[in-house]
Amino acid sequence: MQPLGVDEPTVVGPYRLLGRLGSGGMGRVYLGRSAGGRTVAVKIVHPHFALDEEFRARFRREVEAARRVGGAWTAPVLDADPEAPVPWVATAYAAGPSLTAAVADTGALPGHTVRVLGAGLAEALTAVHELGLVHRDVKPSNVLLTVDGPLLIDFGIARATDGTASLTSTGVSIGSPGYMAPEQILGKGVTGAADVFSLGAVLAYAATGQQPFPGDSSAALLYKVVHEEPELGPLDGELREVVEACLNKDPAARPTPGELARRLAPQGAARLVADGWLPGVLVERVGRSAVQVLNLEATDGGLGDRPSGPVGFSSPAIGEFGPPPTMPPVAVPEPRDAEPVTRSPGKLSVSVAATSAPGDGGRGRRMSCTVALAVASALAAVTVGSVFVFDLLPDNSPNDSAGSDSDSSYSQAPGASASATAAPDALTAYLGTWEGQGVALDGNLPLGAFRLTVHRAQVGQELGRLRQTDVLGGVCNDVLTLKSVTAKRLVATSVGAKSNHKGCNPAATTVTLTPVGDDLDYASDSEESGNPTSRLSRIE
């Protein structure tokens, strides 16, 4: 568990957060505690999902369905808020490492441990399938190893994401490369048999310490799952037979979870767990983890018995979903009419500088991006490649003269030399480097830090660059082309840089800069981004 970062929430609904447990494709997981002292795991989804109304509707339905799952080998869903600015779900907390962490630390698990693991997960899937549900994302990181047996976690989010408008546009299914069933990859429909395939891949990983379908990229993993046989290494005996049956390419030929449970543990998984199922090194680790959680202290901060509701974030950003960007400390002046706030490197900023050279090679997600998972990127690379065509041609549309004065408006006359660089008086006020915090959805969704650089330019020429460091820790760069400028307003076209990765939004948008005292008000007309705005202060 990691301590909370300065930009991460300390309270979500009725839960005070104590630390960060991990992160994944859907969001970040925190350790939380209720006012009554119950310890829970709180998962906050990635912020870009908050812009997708279809995701919210599916999330609401799937969380309600997940509440009904009450098998012995699952972590029950206790609470959720699909209507929060960034949706979240809380489940019972279990002290114990994920299967991913356990194998990474200790290597392949003993045969007896793998047998109990398979029996427990098979019984969990039996309970899930009997309710008419399919988990869709059974993988090592969604399996916890506790003294009381294995637990299958992460209901309600993976299923809610599958089929949302933002993701189906890529034509891919949701899951984890290497653990998805062939029919899931090919989009042929997902049934409980897909979970059985994933379970087989999980057991192979636990028994050998290696993925059964190894590869250097998501595309290679997906190809091997569909077309090649698994690599099971030294796995032999009954466990090998079970894994091979689960990994059959034909869904109809795979055993049911109930059949697997009876084969691995005829008298039930609980009997095997009671006799001791984890190796000593993992038992010791689980014990240390439990003591660490018990020693954590948190006050209720006046929460009392307040019910779940919209998340009240304690800082402008909801947290870092991934490693923070590497950025030097920058002293960011606050807007002149705002209360001073201490800021730290890595927050979302917009800057426009007269001499700085923004890094087009920055990697990350744009605030407006609709980010598909690794599998989506892999399939996109296979099907359509990674080349985007951007409209970077000068904008020859008539100048927007709203609010302009005849002696201060500026546009490039036809035939004017492209080498002319002397800026009119109206543009001078916008030159420099600017930074500020961004928000969207009428201020309800924190976006992070904007860094904007503006240099001298003619209409139709490159005006500057916008570097966006979002709350996920990702970076995207936009190229701004000047459309019109007056003393009261500057209008530019903003287009994603060619060097951006696929998670960045390539669509052209119109941005407006409006002087307010010594600051600039930034506004974008991008509805898909939630119409971002920011108050920017000059730093150079």
Tens-digit pLDDT profile for residues 195-236: 999 999 999 999 999 999 998 887 888 899 999 999 999 899
Let me know whether 520 and 396 are in one domain: yes
Let me know whether 263 and 144 are in one domain: yes
Q: What is the DSSP string of 152-207?
A: E--TTTHHHHTT-HHHHTTT---S-TTTS-HHHHTTS---HHHHHHHHHHHHHHHH
Let me know whether 196 and 109 are in one domain: yes
Residue 441 lies in a domain: yes
Q: Which of 175-189, 232-246, 410-424 has the lowest mean pLDDT?
A: 410-424
Tens-digit pLDDT profile for residues 383-435: 222 222 222 233 333 333 333 333 344 444 444 443 333 345 789 889 999 98
Residue 417 has what pLDDT? 41
**Confidence grade of residue 164 (pLDDT, cut at 50, 70, 90):** very low
Q: Is the pLDDT of residue 321 over 80?
A: no
First and final CA of the chain: distance in angstroms?
Answer: 39
Tens-digit pLDDT profile for residues 9-39: 889 999 999 888 877 666 788 999 988 888 8
Question: Do the Cβ atoms of 499 and 513 come closer than 8 Å?
Answer: no
Question: Residue 67 is part of which domain span?
Answer: 11-295
* Interatomic CA distance for residues 7 and 354, integer angstroms: 29
Binding residue positions? 43
Let me know whether 421 and 489 are in one domain: yes
Let me know whether 150 and 23 are in one domain: yes
Let me know whether 356 and 288 are in one domain: no
Mean pLDDT of 490-508: 82
Structure tokens at 203: 């057991």
Let me know whether 504 and 390 are in one domain: yes
Q: Is the pLDDT of residue 534 over 80?
A: yes
The answer to whether 137 is a known catalytic residue is yes
Mean pLDDT of 462-486: 82
* Interatomic CA distance for residues 58 and 43, integer angstroms: 16
Residue 303 lies in a domain: no
Which of 7, 52, 79, 137 is catalytic? The answer is 137
Residue 530 vs residue 5, higher pLDDT: 5
Nearest to 91 by CA among 13, 153, 2, 159: 153
**Confidence grade of residue 453 (pLDDT, cut at 50, 70, 90):** very high
Phi, psi of 513 (to 5 degrees): -110, 125
Let me know whether 110 and 236 are in one domain: yes
Neighbours of 11 (CB within 10 A): 19
Give the chain's mean pLDDT: 73
Residue 341 lies in a domain: no
- Residue 115: which CATH number? 1.10.510.10
Binding residue positions for ATP? 43
Residue 179 vs residue 392, higher pLDDT: 179
Letter for the amino acid at 475? V
Q: Is the pLDDT of residue 6 over 60?
A: yes
Among all chains, which residue has been given the structure tokens 């915090």?
Answer: 437
Let me know whether 288 and 364 are in one domain: no
**Confidence grade of residue 445 (pLDDT, cut at 50, 70, 90):** low
Mean pLDDT of 300-312: 39
Residue 330 lies in a domain: no
Total tally of structural domains belonging to the chain:
2
Ramachandran quadrant class, 505 (left: phi over 0; alpha: psi -120 to 50; beta: rest): beta
Residue 496 has what pLDDT? 85
Residue 344 lies in a domain: no
Residue 321 lies in a domain: no
Let me know whether 357 and 259 are in one domain: no
Let me know whether 98 and 178 are in one domain: yes
SS3 239: helix
Residue 308 lies in a domain: no
Question: Do the Cβ atoms of 115 and 264 come closer than 8 Å?
Answer: yes
Structure tokens at 450: 């904007």
Q: Is the pTM of this model over 0.85?
A: no
Residue 396 has what pLDDT? 36
Exposed/middle/buried for 236, CB within 10 Å: 0-12, 13-18, 19+?
A: exposed
